[in-house]
Structure 1
């Protein structure tokens, strides 16, 4: 009799939409952020009715992520402190939830919401 050895290869594939949703949730919890800067939907997103997470770009090289986010600040928010808080929160959220290393989080201030606070 031959012994049959069973090899099971395990792999995990994480959609960029999942990473973008984690980033979106993290950013929306930060005081001083009005929202993530919008971008136009692609024809593919329109056709398949896919969600558009805004100005978020994700790069993955050898299980190391780089994230770039465009945000809109609330009126009176301090840009540097809000950007630093976004970097810390996004990095820790992605690393804790997915176990992936985040090398850098780039934050671009794309605008400021000038409407009056209620």
Structure 2
């Protein structure tokens, strides 16, 4: 079974602590890119299975997270729709992932690395 890590977001001796699992931060990153035009999906299915085989964990969720001392490094795996400018679209992914994680968790995002694992063709072609 894969080890899950929890990180303390807030520790208040009067009422207790707030912890977040790294899987939750990975899910936030994956969900953040869903509405970006040109991003078909976070990597999954065949691309995710391939990455699992070569040792990249959390690829099925579309993100890999490393957290150290409330600083987050994110690797996001995406499928880009054919015809979209990849650098521009990936820049939007970086901005959205960073902003969303920071707003929802209070953690500081230091890196958002976007890995394009596939180009998706329109369904009607």
The interval holding the TM-score normalised by the smaller chain is 0.7 to 0.9
Indicate whether 1:11 and 2:17 are aligned: yes
Task: Give the equivalent residue in structure 2 for 1:35.
Answer: 41
Gaps spanning 5+ residues in structure 1: where? 1-6, 43-50
RMSD value, Cα: 2.5
CA distance in 1, matches of 2:98, 2:79: 19
What is the number of residues matched between the two proteins?
104
Task: Give the equivalent residue in structure 1 for 2:4.
Answer: none
Deviation at 1:116, TM superposition (A): 3.8
Deviation at 1:21, TM superposition (A): 1.9
Q: Which has the higher contact order (CA 8 A, sep 6+)?
A: 1
Gaps spanning 5+ residues in structure 2: where? 1-12, 53-57
Deviation at 1:58, TM superposition (A): 0.1
TM-score, length-normalised on structure 2?
0.72
SS in 1 for 2:61: coil
Query: Residue 84 and residue 90 in structure 1: after superposition, are their counterparts in 2 closer, same or farther (change >3 A)?
Result: same
Higher Cα Rg: structure 1 or 2? Answer: 1
Greater strand content: 2
Aligned partners of 2:43 and 2:79 also within 8 Å: yes
